[in-house]
């Protein structure tokens, strides 16, 4: 049976969080390229403002654009990437990078015990359910990419599924209520997804892989700074749920940084899963408590919904960006679709001729992103509703840069209003999100890129007290227009887009990020900084980011990492309208691989940690 045949068949398991496994360097990572001196002549000459740019054409029409110049000959199989950076970690024996230190350590401990990248990733995923409860979960879902050394990448879709009793009227009522109750929860997929990955591709027993998560829940752990901050932001809603208030609250409000969070009920559930596998969650006492909560509080998840849930093996989307071949999560990942389209359009329009952080380079990127996000919002749906022929046609459409560039050529002198790109613009709604990503590379060259989500921060803002499980509000991720509309048993699309890049057939990059609709934009910008801008790994992740998600027709930026004032003024002159800035956009956990060396870096935006295995 081929991988494509298997990709159409459902399997019983799911994935949960987004983490990256990295290694601790014996010293500073080597600087393989000078950031200032390694740019191509075209990029080096690119101006940082439109006023002094090298005569850009008024309309950039990629349909008739000349072919790109031949790539410089490559002297070795090592990708032209710079792994250096003050906080980059290095190892030849395995690297893990995630948003939370205890979860990263869980992955490292499993690698040190002889596990491979999948074993470590599953350990991180379960640990994040304990230590990063706003997004890590066993009450939500996610996507996982696994690439064994020298093999094709396999994608596992363990996104949540709408309950069979979902109705349009019920959906509308749930949205009006703010998606903060049991009606907002889809059937969780994380447990079956993680277990599927472990059963098919791991090598250690489930109990050993889950032991760190169980210990963290049973014995407690100190709440991290980022976790305490997100808890504080969500407290105004969480405090109205008795179980959440008891679990996450203190005498005068939410638990603060450094407070010990002990979760005995969650430890019991994890022990059941470790002992019984899927049955420890989807049947028996855990399932009975979950369904009982739903019946009591108006939720729609039934015992049959839990029994019927299956994760699915899928074929990733692929795109070539310069000399790099990228495997990206396929639908139900709409974010993967947007990322593939962004990169294809950047390649066709020869974006490398402008520096990624120049006004010209940013204008082109923003206009391309706007078009790709229109596709993401309206033209991606659960692939189970498609025939093989339709699926192939969609993939061809997404890989073709002219899908959007032919009918809507990009002008380098003015913006294209979003409302002109799609008639559904006026009806579009913003989505809720809170996700987490982790990346893992082991000493054998295997890699995992995994993103997990509860949809909103702390999901639907309630905890099933008997289980200690925070539940998702993924049903709210359905749209009111386009193809991603609610239906019983349907998977809702997601912007999560775990990604693995290869160079000349060898693993080169493992990366991903949380951030809802900003995910494709974030990943594309990091790739541009690495590949087009020749920045090192740390600089590429730390660089300022922007985002245009098509709706609303506003450009988002970061307050902690603002654009240069001159660049912002040039973008405003072109017609870009800035929204109030986000504190930050995205939280990338990345691993770079150069031959036998792995380099990990955790985005400082959410205080993540990258570590490496120091000995085999």
Annotated catalytic residues are 435
DSSP state of 78: S
Q: In this structure, are residues 449 and 28 in contact, taking their beta carbons and an 8 Å threshold?
A: no
CA dist 31 and 48 (Å) reads 25
> Tokens at residue 558, please?
């970061």
> Tokens at residue 224, please?
């991290």
Q: In this structure, are residues 85 and 536 in contact, taking their beta carbons and an 8 Å threshold?
A: yes
Q: In this structure, are residues 472 and 188 in contact, taking their beta carbons and an 8 Å threshold?
A: yes
Residues whose CB falls within 8 Å of the CB of residue 235, separated by 6 or more in sequence, listed in order: 248, 253, 254
Q: In this structure, are residues 507 and 441 in contact, taking their beta carbons and an 8 Å threshold?
A: yes
> Tokens at residue 11, please?
């399997």
DSSP state of 465: T
Q: In this structure, are residues 89 and 612 in contact, taking their beta carbons and an 8 Å threshold?
A: yes
Could you give the residue ranges of the DSSP H alpha helices within 277-387?
A: 279-282, 284-297, 303-308, 334-348, 359-378
- DSSP secondary structure string for all residues of 404-425: HHTTSPEESSSPPPGGGT-TTG
- Nearest Cα to Cα of residue 327 among 491, 486, 143: 143
Q: Three-class SS of residue 4? A: helix
CA dist 263 and 269 (Å) reads 10
- Say if residue 8 is exposed, middle or buried (CB neighbours under 10 Å; 0-12, 13-18, 19+): middle
Residues whose CB falls within 8 Å of the CB of residue 127, separated by 6 or more in sequence, listed in order: 100, 102, 103, 106, 107, 136, 212, 213, 216
Residues 578, 523, 386: CA angle, nearest 5 degrees: 105
> Tokens at residue 205, please?
């027993």
CA dist 357 and 568 (Å) reads 11
- Say if residue 388 is exposed, middle or buried (CB neighbours under 10 Å; 0-12, 13-18, 19+): exposed
Residues whose CB falls within 8 Å of the CB of residue 582, separated by 6 or more in sequence, listed in order: 556, 557, 558, 559
Q: In this structure, are residues 263 and 271 in contact, taking their beta carbons and an 8 Å threshold?
A: no
């Amino acid at each position: 049976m081929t991988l494509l045949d298997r990709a159409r068949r459902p399997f019983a398991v799911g994935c949960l969080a987004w983490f990256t496994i990295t290694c601790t360097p014996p010293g500073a990572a080597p600087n393989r390229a000078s950031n200032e001196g390694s740019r191509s002549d075209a990029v080096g000459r690119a101006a940082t403002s439109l006023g002094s740019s090298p005569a850009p054409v008024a309309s950039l029409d990629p349909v008739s654009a000349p072919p790109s110049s031949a790539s410089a000959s490559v002297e070795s199989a090592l990708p032209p990437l710079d792994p250096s950076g003050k906080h980059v970690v290095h190892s030849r024996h395995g690297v893990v990078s995630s948003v939370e230190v205890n979860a990263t350590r869980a992955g490292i401990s499993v690698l040190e015990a002889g596990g491979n990248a999948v074993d470590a990733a599953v350990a991180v995923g379960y640990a994040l359910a304990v230590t990063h409860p706003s997004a890590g979960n066993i009450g939500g879902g996610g996507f996982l990419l696994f690439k064994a050394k020298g093999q094709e990448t396999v994608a596992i879709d363990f996104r949540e599924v709408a309950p069979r009793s979902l109705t349009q009227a019920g959906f509308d009522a749930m949205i009006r209520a703010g998606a903060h109750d049991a009606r907002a929860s889809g059937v969780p997929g994380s447990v079956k997804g993680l277990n599927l990955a472990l059963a098919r591709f791991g090598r250690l027993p489930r109990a050993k892989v889950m032991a760190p998560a169980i210990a963290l829940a049973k014995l407690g752990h100190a709440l991290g700074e980022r976790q305490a901050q997100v808890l504080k932001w969500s407290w105004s809603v969480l405090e109205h749920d008795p179980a959440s208030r008891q679990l996450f609250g203190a005498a005068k409000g939410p638990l603060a940084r450094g407070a010990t969070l002990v979760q005995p009920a969650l430890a019991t559930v994890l022990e059941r899963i470790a002992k019984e596998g899927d049955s420890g969650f989807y049947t028996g006492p855990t399932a009975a408590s979950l369904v009982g909560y739903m019946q009591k509080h108006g939720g729609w998840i039934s015992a049959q919904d839990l029994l019927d849930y299956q994760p699915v093996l899928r074929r990733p989307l692929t795109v070539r960006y310069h000399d790099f071949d990228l495997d990206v999560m396929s639908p139900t990942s709409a974010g993967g679709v947007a990322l593939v389209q962004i990169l294809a359009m950047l390649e066709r329009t020869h974006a490398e001729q402008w520096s990624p952080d120049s006004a010209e380079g940013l204008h082109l990127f923003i206009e391309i992103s706007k078009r790709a996000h229109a596709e993401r919002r309206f033209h991606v749906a659960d692939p189970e509703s498609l025939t093989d022929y339709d699926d192939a046609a969609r993939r061809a459409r997404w890989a073709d840069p002219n899908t959007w560039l032919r009918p809507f050529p990009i002008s380098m002198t003015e913006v294209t209003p979003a409302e002109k790109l799609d008639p559904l613009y006026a009806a579009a709604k913003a989505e809720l999100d809170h996700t987490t990503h982790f990346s893992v590379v082991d000493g054998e060259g295997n890699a995992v890129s995994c993103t997990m989500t509860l949809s909103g921060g702390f999901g639907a803002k309630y905890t099933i007290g008997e289980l200690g499980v925070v539940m998702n509000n993924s049903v709210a991720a359905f749209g009111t227009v386009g193809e991603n509309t609610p239906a019983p048993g349907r998977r809702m699309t997601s912007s999560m887009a775990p990604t693995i890049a290869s160079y000349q057939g060898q693993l080169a990059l493992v990366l991903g990020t949380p951030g809802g609709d900003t995910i494709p934009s974030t990943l594309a910008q990091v790739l541009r900084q690495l590949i087009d801008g020749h920045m090192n790994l740390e600089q590429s992740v730390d660089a300022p980011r922007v985002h245009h998600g098509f709706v609303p027709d506003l450009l988002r930026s970061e307050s902690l990492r603002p654009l240069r004032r001159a660049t912002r003024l040039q973008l405003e002159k072109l017609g870009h309208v800035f929204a109030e800035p986000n504190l930050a956009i995205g939280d990338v956990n990345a691993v770079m691989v150069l031959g036998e060396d792995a380099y990990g870096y955790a985005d400082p935006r959410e205080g993540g940690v990258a570590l490496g295995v120091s000995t085999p």
